[in-house]
Amino acid sequence: MADAAHFSSRKALICLLLIINTATESKAQHTIRVPADQSTIQAGINAAANGDTVLVGHSYAGSVITGVADRFPGRIGALVYLDAFLPEAGDSCWSLTNDEQRNWYVAGCARTGYGVDPLPFFDERARPHPVATFLQALPLTGAWRDVPTKHYVAASWPDESPMARSTRRAAADPSMVVHHWNTRHNVMADGPDLVLGLLRGLPGYTTG
């Protein structure tokens, strides 16, 4: 997704794209990539100035970015949830989702006992997902709420969305900007221009 390089005014870590983009008044624009330039996402966050990191999480990764922001709220400038889980303290993916999704977790790990097999329509690069990460409760202090900019994107589902509870939670949060997009769950594939437009519109970022 090369267009992400058009970000030009501050550092940004895009978790899904694993790109840090940097430009300050004293330095020309410099793009730092994970793992090419920084070995881990944490190292990338550490390389960015406070408030200049954007975390983007799709689906399960909503729990991941919430956990990271809860530990380092002062370093995060924005959170973007792409049809993703939005946990509170003690929540897990299992507790947040619906029965259809839970049935997949159970049936999907029957082969190995520990990895949930991808569904048939998943990208061919998909690999089994550790089932314990769907079941583990997330300890949160609530500090992630201090992140100044938060967006939640709800995709369109033919029936009940597995993210319905998270979508309702986002809609009830006055600090969250909620978007409803006419895309499938894989919003990056169905609506790449929408995703890029949202990221380009975040405070402090301009296109070049």
**DSSP codes of every residue in 63-130:** HHHHHHHHH-GGGEEEEEEES-----TT--HHHHS-HHHHHHHHHHTTTTSSEEPPPTTS-TT--PEE
pTM score above 0.75: yes
Residue 133 identity: T
Rounded CA-CA distance 170/153 in Å is 9
Beta carbons within 8 Å of 186's beta carbon, 6+ residues apart: 58
Tell me the per-residue pLDDT of 3-56, one tens digit each, with 9 for 90 and over. Answer: 333 333 334 444 443 333 433 343 444 556 778 878 887 787 788 778 878 899
CA 4/CA 105 separation, integer angstroms: 33
Residue 52: predicted pLDDT: 79
Interval 104-156: pLDDT, tens: 999 999 999 999 999 998 889 999 999 999 999 999 999 999 999 999 999 99
3-state DSSP assignment of residue 62: helix
